[in-house]
A and B are shown apart, each in its own frame.
Chain A
Protein backbone atom coordinates (compact mmCIF):
# COMPACT_ATOMS: atom_id res chain seq x y z
CA UNK A 1 0.00 0.00 0.00
CA UNK A 2 1.46 3.35 -0.99
CA UNK A 3 2.02 5.88 1.75
CA UNK A 4 1.09 9.52 1.95
CA UNK A 5 2.71 11.58 -0.78
CA UNK A 6 3.33 15.31 -0.84
CA UNK A 7 4.38 17.57 -3.67
CA UNK A 8 6.53 19.46 -4.13
CA UNK A 9 9.16 18.41 -1.62
CA UNK A 10 10.90 21.78 -1.64
CA UNK A 11 9.75 25.29 -2.49
CA UNK A 12 11.38 28.70 -2.41
CA UNK A 13 9.13 31.74 -2.58
CA UNK A 14 9.43 35.45 -1.84
CA UNK A 15 7.39 37.53 0.56
CA UNK A 16 3.96 38.45 -0.71
CA UNK A 17 3.65 35.48 -3.06
CA UNK A 18 1.23 32.65 -2.60
CA UNK A 19 1.88 28.92 -2.62
CA UNK A 20 -0.14 25.72 -3.05
CA UNK A 21 0.94 22.41 -1.57
CA UNK A 22 -0.54 19.05 -2.48
CA UNK A 23 -1.15 15.87 -0.49
CA UNK A 24 -2.35 12.46 -1.64
CA UNK A 25 -3.56 10.27 1.22
CA UNK A 26 -3.23 6.54 1.71
CA UNK A 27 -5.79 4.71 -0.40
CA UNK A 28 -9.04 4.35 1.51
CA UNK A 29 -8.31 7.19 3.94
CA UNK A 30 -10.89 9.95 3.89
CA UNK A 31 -9.31 12.34 6.37
CA UNK A 32 -6.36 14.62 5.65
CA UNK A 33 -4.81 16.83 8.31
CA UNK A 34 -2.17 19.49 7.81
CA UNK A 35 0.56 20.52 10.24
CA UNK A 36 3.30 23.14 10.31
CA UNK A 37 6.63 22.35 11.91
CA UNK A 38 9.02 25.11 12.92
CA UNK A 39 11.99 25.04 15.30
CA UNK A 40 10.33 27.46 17.69
CA UNK A 41 6.74 26.21 17.74
CA UNK A 42 7.15 22.53 17.00
CA UNK A 43 4.38 20.63 15.22
CA UNK A 44 1.17 22.62 15.08
CA UNK A 45 -2.19 21.60 13.67
CA UNK A 46 -3.50 23.69 10.78
CA UNK A 47 -6.77 22.04 9.73
CA UNK A 48 -8.44 18.76 8.88
CA UNK A 49 -10.63 17.76 5.96
CA UNK A 50 -12.98 14.82 5.72
CA UNK A 51 -15.15 14.06 2.70
CA UNK A 52 -14.39 17.46 1.19
CA UNK A 53 -15.45 19.34 4.34
CA UNK A 54 -13.23 21.15 6.79
CA UNK A 55 -14.08 19.63 10.17
CA UNK A 56 -11.46 21.24 12.37
CA UNK A 57 -9.17 24.22 12.29
CA UNK A 58 -6.16 25.31 14.34
CA UNK A 59 -5.10 28.80 15.38
CA UNK A 60 -3.66 30.09 12.14
CA UNK A 61 -4.58 33.26 10.24
CA UNK A 62 -6.96 33.18 7.31
CA UNK A 63 -4.01 33.33 4.89
CA UNK A 64 -3.81 29.57 5.44
CA UNK A 65 -6.57 27.70 3.66
CA UNK A 66 -7.18 24.30 2.21
CA UNK A 67 -9.54 22.10 0.34
CA UNK A 68 -10.17 18.46 -0.33
CA UNK A 69 -11.29 16.82 -3.53
CA UNK A 70 -13.69 13.94 -4.08
CA UNK A 71 -10.74 11.49 -4.34
CA UNK A 72 -9.59 12.66 -0.86
CA UNK A 73 -6.54 14.45 -2.23
CA UNK A 74 -6.00 17.74 -0.47
CA UNK A 75 -4.34 21.05 -1.18
CA UNK A 76 -3.16 23.72 1.19
CA UNK A 77 -2.76 27.33 0.14
CA UNK A 78 -0.87 30.11 1.84
CA UNK A 79 -1.42 33.61 0.49
CA UNK A 80 0.67 36.73 1.03
CA UNK A 81 3.64 34.80 2.30
CA UNK A 82 5.61 36.09 5.26
CA UNK A 83 9.13 35.21 6.35
CA UNK A 84 7.68 33.40 9.36
CA UNK A 85 5.83 30.99 7.09
CA UNK A 86 9.13 29.23 6.35
CA UNK A 87 8.56 25.76 7.73
CA UNK A 88 8.12 22.08 7.02
CA UNK A 89 4.49 21.48 6.09
CA UNK A 90 3.25 17.99 6.79
CA UNK A 91 0.06 16.29 5.85
CA UNK A 92 -1.29 13.16 7.48
CA UNK A 93 -4.07 10.84 6.45
CA UNK A 94 -6.35 8.56 8.43
CA UNK A 95 -9.74 6.88 8.20
CA UNK A 96 -11.16 9.84 10.07
CA UNK A 97 -13.58 7.81 12.15
CA UNK A 98 -13.46 5.90 15.39
CA UNK A 99 -11.58 6.29 18.63
CA UNK A 100 -8.21 4.85 17.65
CA UNK A 101 -7.79 6.84 14.47
CA UNK A 102 -4.08 6.76 13.68
CA UNK A 103 -2.61 9.40 11.41
CA UNK A 104 0.13 8.53 8.95
CA UNK A 105 2.36 11.31 7.74
CA UNK A 106 3.84 12.20 4.40
CA UNK A 107 7.46 13.31 3.91
CA UNK A 108 6.56 16.98 4.05
CA UNK A 109 7.11 20.05 1.90
CA UNK A 110 9.95 22.33 2.95
CA UNK A 111 8.88 25.93 2.25
CA UNK A 112 11.45 28.70 2.37
CA UNK A 113 10.23 32.30 2.15
CA UNK A 114 12.87 34.88 1.20
Chain B
Protein backbone atom coordinates (compact mmCIF):
# COMPACT_ATOMS: atom_id res chain seq x y z
CA UNK B 1 0.00 0.00 0.00
CA UNK B 2 1.79 3.07 -1.28
CA UNK B 3 0.69 5.96 0.91
CA UNK B 4 2.69 8.60 -0.97
CA UNK B 5 2.65 8.55 -4.76
CA UNK B 6 4.50 10.49 -7.38
CA UNK B 7 2.75 9.43 -10.54
CA UNK B 8 5.16 11.03 -12.99
CA UNK B 9 8.42 9.09 -13.18
CA UNK B 10 10.03 11.86 -15.19
CA UNK B 11 9.62 15.47 -16.25
CA UNK B 12 11.52 17.41 -18.91
CA UNK B 13 11.56 21.22 -18.86
CA UNK B 14 13.35 23.98 -20.74
CA UNK B 15 15.69 26.25 -18.80
CA UNK B 16 13.91 29.35 -17.51
CA UNK B 17 10.46 27.74 -17.54
CA UNK B 18 8.45 26.47 -14.60
CA UNK B 19 8.84 22.91 -13.30
CA UNK B 20 5.83 21.45 -11.48
CA UNK B 21 6.28 18.20 -9.59
CA UNK B 22 3.23 16.51 -8.11
CA UNK B 23 2.62 14.22 -5.17
CA UNK B 24 -0.53 12.53 -3.85
CA UNK B 25 -1.06 10.88 -0.50
CA UNK B 26 -3.72 8.66 1.00
CA UNK B 27 -3.07 8.78 4.74
CA UNK B 28 -5.16 11.57 6.28
CA UNK B 29 -2.93 11.47 9.37
CA UNK B 30 -0.01 12.97 7.46
CA UNK B 31 0.50 16.56 8.55
CA UNK B 32 4.04 17.50 7.60
CA UNK B 33 5.34 17.28 4.07
CA UNK B 34 8.82 17.70 2.68
CA UNK B 35 10.55 17.79 -0.68
CA UNK B 36 14.04 16.44 -1.19
CA UNK B 37 16.39 16.54 -4.15
CA UNK B 38 18.68 13.59 -4.76
CA UNK B 39 21.61 12.77 -6.99
CA UNK B 40 22.62 9.13 -7.60
CA UNK B 41 24.69 7.55 -4.81
CA UNK B 42 24.16 10.59 -2.57
CA UNK B 43 21.81 11.32 0.28
CA UNK B 44 18.66 13.38 -0.26
CA UNK B 45 19.06 17.13 0.19
CA UNK B 46 16.23 18.95 1.96
CA UNK B 47 14.56 21.60 -0.20
CA UNK B 48 11.38 22.85 1.38
CA UNK B 49 8.59 21.74 3.67
CA UNK B 50 5.02 22.59 4.59
CA UNK B 51 2.84 21.75 7.55
CA UNK B 52 -0.82 20.92 7.21
CA UNK B 53 -1.91 24.23 8.73
CA UNK B 54 -0.62 26.05 5.65
CA UNK B 55 -1.46 25.80 1.97
CA UNK B 56 1.66 27.44 0.57
CA UNK B 57 5.29 27.90 1.49
CA UNK B 58 7.94 29.74 -0.51
CA UNK B 59 11.71 29.70 -0.40
CA UNK B 60 13.46 31.46 -3.23
CA UNK B 61 12.73 29.70 -6.51
CA UNK B 62 10.87 26.90 -4.73
CA UNK B 63 7.21 26.99 -3.71
CA UNK B 64 5.23 24.11 -2.27
CA UNK B 65 1.44 24.03 -2.42
CA UNK B 66 -0.73 21.79 -0.26
CA UNK B 67 -4.36 20.90 -1.01
CA UNK B 68 -5.52 18.89 1.98
CA UNK B 69 -9.00 18.16 0.67
CA UNK B 70 -7.48 16.61 -2.44
CA UNK B 71 -4.58 15.08 -0.51
CA UNK B 72 -2.24 16.61 -3.06
CA UNK B 73 0.91 18.66 -2.93
CA UNK B 74 3.08 20.15 -5.62
CA UNK B 75 6.52 21.70 -5.90
CA UNK B 76 7.01 24.62 -8.27
CA UNK B 77 10.49 25.63 -9.38
CA UNK B 78 10.68 29.00 -11.11
CA UNK B 79 12.78 29.60 -13.10
CA UNK B 80 14.18 26.14 -13.71
CA UNK B 81 17.94 25.80 -14.12
CA UNK B 82 20.05 22.95 -15.52
CA UNK B 83 21.51 22.45 -12.03
CA UNK B 84 18.02 21.52 -10.85
CA UNK B 85 18.24 18.27 -12.82
CA UNK B 86 17.96 15.48 -10.23
CA UNK B 87 15.46 13.08 -8.69
CA UNK B 88 12.87 14.81 -6.52
CA UNK B 89 11.16 12.98 -3.67
CA UNK B 90 8.18 14.08 -1.68
CA UNK B 91 7.90 12.72 1.84
CA UNK B 92 5.29 12.85 4.56
CA UNK B 93 5.15 12.30 8.30
CA UNK B 94 2.34 11.87 10.80
CA UNK B 95 2.20 13.07 14.36
CA UNK B 96 1.79 10.34 16.89
CA UNK B 97 -0.41 10.69 19.93
CA UNK B 98 2.42 12.36 21.81
CA UNK B 99 2.67 15.19 19.30
CA UNK B 100 6.00 14.21 17.79
CA UNK B 101 6.73 12.47 14.54
CA UNK B 102 8.95 9.58 15.57
CA UNK B 103 11.42 9.86 12.75
CA UNK B 104 9.40 8.04 10.12
CA UNK B 105 9.17 9.69 6.74
CA UNK B 106 7.13 7.96 4.06
CA UNK B 107 8.56 8.67 0.62
CA UNK B 108 7.14 8.71 -2.87
CA UNK B 109 8.95 6.86 -5.64
CA UNK B 110 10.55 10.02 -7.00
CA UNK B 111 10.37 12.07 -10.20
CA UNK B 112 13.40 12.54 -12.42
CA UNK B 113 13.57 16.20 -13.45
CA UNK B 114 15.66 17.12 -16.47
CA UNK B 115 16.15 20.80 -17.26
CA UNK B 116 17.48 21.41 -20.77
CA UNK B 117 19.66 24.46 -21.50
Contacts and interface: CB of A to CB of B under 8 A. Distances in A.
A48 B96 CA distance: 14
Given A99-B31, A100-B49, A108 B41 contact: yes
Contacts of B102: 48, 50, 55-56
7 contacts: A32-B103, A55-B103, A56-B102, A99-B95, A99-B99, A100-B49, A103-B46
Interface of A: 4, 6, 31-33, 35, 42-45, 47-50, 55-56, 58, 88, 90, 92, 94, 96-108, 110
Contacts of A4: 43
Interface string B87-111: 0010101010001111111111110
Given A88-B41, A107-B42, A108-B42, A102 B34 contact: yes
Contacts of B41: 88, 108, 110
Given A45-B106, A48-B103, A56-B104, A105 B49 contact: no
Contacts of A94: 103
B37 to A, nearest CB: 11
Chain B, interface residues (CB within 8 Å), range: 20 to 34
A43 B101 CA distance: 17
Q: Binding site of A, secondary structure by majority: helix, strand, loop or mixed?
A: strand
Interface of B: 31-32, 34, 36, 41-46, 49, 51, 89, 91, 93, 95, 99-110
Given A42-B109, A42-B110, A110-B41, A104 B103 contact: no
Nearest to A32: B103
3 shortest A-B CB distances, which residue pairs? Answer: A48-B103, A105-B43, A56-B102
